[in-house]
Amino acid sequence: MLKKFLKWAGLFFLAFILQTTLAPAISIYGIKPDLLMLVLFILAIKTGMMPAIYVGFFLGLAQDLYSPSILGQNALSKTIAGFFAGLFNEKLVRIDPIFQAVLLLLMFLLNDLVFLVVQMVKTGGSMQVITMQVLTATLPRSFYSLLLGMAPFLWENYVQAAVKR
Amino acid sequence: MHWIVEFVVKHRSSCSFLVTIVLSLWMISGPPEFQARASRFLTLTVFYPFQVTFNNLTHIRNIFSENRHLRQEVARLNTEVSRLLELKSENERLRGLLDLSQDFTYELLPVRVVARDPSIENKSVIINAGYKDGVRMWMPLVGEKGVVGKVIQVMNGLSLVQLIKDPSNRISILSSRSRTVSILETENGRSFFFRCRNHEDVQIGDTIITSGLGGIYPKGLRVGQVDRITDSQNPLFKRVWVELSVDFDRIEDLFVLLLSPQWQSFREELDSLEMQR
């Protein structure tokens, strides 16, 4: 149990370091991959819903504290995203890489939608702003993260499988 | 009570989700003051270890960039220091020259050494002033520490200066204390001496100046000081070794004394007599 906890803690720590150091360096037109969301997605499908909910909640809360946003905004969006991804725990559902990619994309969209809706409610934004935000920020970030995130899945499902065969 | 615990354990995922959602909504719905207070509380309690780690990480990252920046800064400052040291040295040199120019009543022309005699003896230098600047043959040159030499060739914008270290350039000198007059000589351009009678009162440390008798150098220009006294081949004389004031390896800024040789008027007189004849 402790070993598992340390493994995930180490992975998040690594993702955190990479997010603060590597992500700005590999950004394209200001679009950075969200490595923490990727790790949250992996955690969700590997370990299930409950760890994903708590990790999502605390990750979001940390983001709320260290970024000028409404307290609880990221916590709520990441909790929901973690819950959503946790529904597809690989112990319960067998999913192929394409479906995983779709899930990851949906998880990003869900996270950003919740975030933007909270923002709209609290600060009085419009649907037009949310749409623009989704089109100009969420989708490029999701695809970029997806590109990076799918690499381990493709490696595991295709390359390693091919080597085994 | 038991059934509640059982329900929570059975539906722990859903309960966890519900609790976190409620907590999030509670934080979101709070007024800004509450949010600020909650943020402060969470930062100082739950997230404190993470904050410390994050700060250390940021600090480490900053150290790398700071190190790189400081290296660049060190390189830039080194260049700046070298430049300022050069300016300081030039400033000191020019200050010395300025003091010197205030001591003299002669008209002085500031010049700069632009070339040196490439031979080891380094017997002459070229200065950046010539005929158009008023420089004429035989004009003496002084540095901040004393007499340097005389002009032996004048071009339009440049002049050739024979240094006093040239063995063929002998100057009439005077011991400022004992008033002993002699001729400064050198055999190799490094050691300088003059001969004087054994009974002359010359001591180590005496200041040697130009006597003004040679006709080129005016009286009173510092030449050096007595370094040691040895016997001469002639038992009636002793040899007095002089350490020159000027370091000829480091002469850069000099003054030309705009003086005609004292014998110039005689020469002109003789020339006119020859013309009449």
- Tens of pLDDT, residues A19-67: 766 777 777 887 888 888 888 888 888 888 888 898 889 888 887 876 6
Q: Which of B84, B102, B120 is the last residue of a domain?
A: B102
Amino acid letter, residue B64 = F
Q: What is the ipTM of this complex?
A: 0.79
Give the burial class of A159: count Cβ atoms within 10 A of its Cβ; 0-12 exposed, 13-18 middle, 19 or more buried: exposed
Contact call for A71 and B58, based on CB within 8 A? no
Q: CA B16 → CA A49, A50, B11, B241, distances in Å?
A: 9, 7, 9, 102
Give φ, ψ of A91 to 5 degrees.
-75, -25
Residues B143, B225, single domain; the answer is: yes
In this structure, the answer to whether residues B20 and B39 fall within a common structural domain is yes
Dihedral in degrees, nearest 10, Cα atoms A20, A23, A29, A33? -110
CA dist., res. B246 & res. B252, Å (int): 11
Give the chain B residue nearest A22 (alpha carbons).
B61
Chain B residue numbers touching A83 (CB-CB < 8 A) = 17
More confident of the two residues B90 and B225: B225
Instruction: For residue A67, give the chain B residue with the closest CA.
Output: B39
- B166: domain CATH number is 2.40.10.340
Final residue before a domain boundary, out of B58, B83, B102: B102
Dist CA A106 CA A112 (whole Å): 10
Q: Are residues B98 and B206 in the same domain?
A: no
Q: Mean of the pLDDT values across residues B49-77?
A: 74
Q: What pLDDT is stored for residue B119 in this prediction?
A: 66
Q: Averaged over B209-236, what is the pLDDT?
A: 86
Tell me the shortest Cα–Cα distance from B19 to chain A, in angstroms: 10
Mean pLDDT along residues B238-255: 88
Minimal CA separation from A158 to chain B, in Å: 33
Cα–Cα nearest to A72, from A83, A87, A84, A61:
A61
| B44 at interface of A, judged by CB pairs closer than 8 A | no
Measuring CA to CA, how many Å separate B31 from each of A19, A71, A123, B195? 31, 10, 13, 104
| Residue that is written with structure tokens 């010197």 in the block | B100
Say whether both B94 and B172 belong to one domain. Answer: no
pLDDT (0 to 100) of residue B39: 76
Count: domains in chain B: 2
In angstroms, the CA A114 to CA A101 distance is: 20
* Residue B20 to residue A54, Cβ atoms within 8 A: yes
**3-class SS of residue B35:** helix
Question: Is there a contact between B21 and A76 if contact means CB atoms under 8 Å apart?
Answer: yes
Amino acid, res. A90: E
> Shortest CA distance to B267 belongs to which of B216, B221, B217?
B216
Amino acid B177 reads: R
Task: Return the residue in A13, A14, A16, A53 with the most chain B beta carbons within 10 A, the one to mutate for interface testing.
Answer: A53
Find which of A16, A61, A73 to mutate to test the B interface (most B CBs within 10 Å of its CB): A61
Q: Test B17 with A83 for CB contact under 8 angstroms.
A: yes
- The answer to whether the CB of B227 falls within 8 A of the CB of B241 is yes
Crossing angle of helices A35-47 and A73-86, in 10° steps, is: 40
Q: Which residues of B touch A85 (CB under 8 A)?
A: none
The candidate with the shortest Cα–Cα distance to A115, out of A104, A107, A33, is A107
Amino acid at A16: F
Chain A residues lying within 8 Å of B23, measured CB to CB = 57, 72, 75
Contact A86 B50 (CB under 8 A): no
* Mean pLDDT estimate for chain B: 82
pLDDT of residue B150: 92
Q: Which residue of B has its CA nearest to A117?
A: B28
B195 bridge partner residues: B239
Read off φ and ψ for residue B181, nearest 5 degrees.
-105, 140
Report the pLDDT averaged over residues B264-273: 69
Predicted confidence at residue B58, as pLDDT, reads: 65
Question: Encoding tokens for residue B209?
Answer: 């100046």
**Chain B closest-CA separation from residue A156 CA (Å):** 29
Q: SS3 breakdown of chain B: % helix, strand, coil, rounded to 5? A: 40, 25, 30
> Cβ of B20 and A75 within 8 Å?
yes
Are residues B2 and B66 both part of a single domain? yes
As given in the structure block, the two tokens for residue A23 are 């992500």
Residue B263: pLDDT over 70: no
As a dihedral over the C-alpha atoms of residue B195, residue B197, residue B202, residue B203, rounded to 10 degrees, the angle is 80
Distance CA A120, CA A124 (A): 5
Subunit contact A53:B35, Cβ cutoff 8 A:
no
Can you list the alpha helix ranges (DSSP code H) found in chain B? 2-10, 12-29, 32-44, 48-103, 264-276
Domain segments of chain A as ranges: 29-164
Task: Compare B25 and B269 and report the one with higher pLDDT.
Answer: B25
Together in a domain, B256 and B198 = yes
B35 vs A58: CA distance, rounded Å: 16
DSSP state of B218: P
Place of tokens 């597809």: A88
| Chain A / chain B CB contacts < 8 angstroms | 70
Domain boundary among B102, B131, B166: B102
CA dihedral A151, A35, A121, B38 (to 10 degrees): 150
Domain of residue B215: give its range: 107-276
* SS3 of chain A: helix, strand, coil, percent, to 5: 80, 0, 20
Q: Is the pLDDT of residue B54 over 70?
A: no
Q: Would you state the pLDDT for residue B178? A: 85
Question: Is B12 part of the contact surface with chain A (CB cutoff 8 Å)?
Answer: yes
Mean pLDDT of B220-239: 88
Q: Which of B171, B129, B170 is nearest to B153 (CA)?
A: B129
A116-130, B102-116, B255-269: least confidently modelled range: B255-269
pLDDT above 80 (res B197): yes
pLDDT band for B273, please (50, 70, 90 cuts): confident
Q: Examine the pLDDT at B3 and tell me if it is beyond 70.
A: yes
- Which residues of chain A does B16 touch, with a Cβ-Cβ cutoff of 8 Å? 50, 53-54
Q: Does B63 touch chain A (CB under 8 A)?
A: no
Together in a domain, B221 and B262: yes
Portion of chain B with pLDDT greater than 70, in percent? 88
Say if residue B42 is in the same domain as residue B61.
Answer: yes
Q: Where on the phi/psi map is residue A60: left (φ > 0), alpha (ψ -120 to 50), or beta? A: alpha
More confident residue, A25 or B216: B216
pLDDT at B98 over 80: no
Average pLDDT of the segment spanning B25-34: 84
DSSP state, residue A28: B
Highest mean pLDDT among A18-32, A69-83, B256-270: A69-83
Q: How confident is the model at residue B157 (pLDDT cuts 50, 70, 90)?
A: confident
Does residue B113 share a domain with residue B78?
no
Confidence check: pLDDT of A4 > 80? no
Q: Please spell the DSSP secondary structure of A55-82, one letter per residue.
A: HHHHHHHHHHHHTTS-TTHHHHHHHHHH
Across the interface, of B27, B54, B57, the residue whose CB is closest to A72 is B27
- pLDDT for res B141: 92
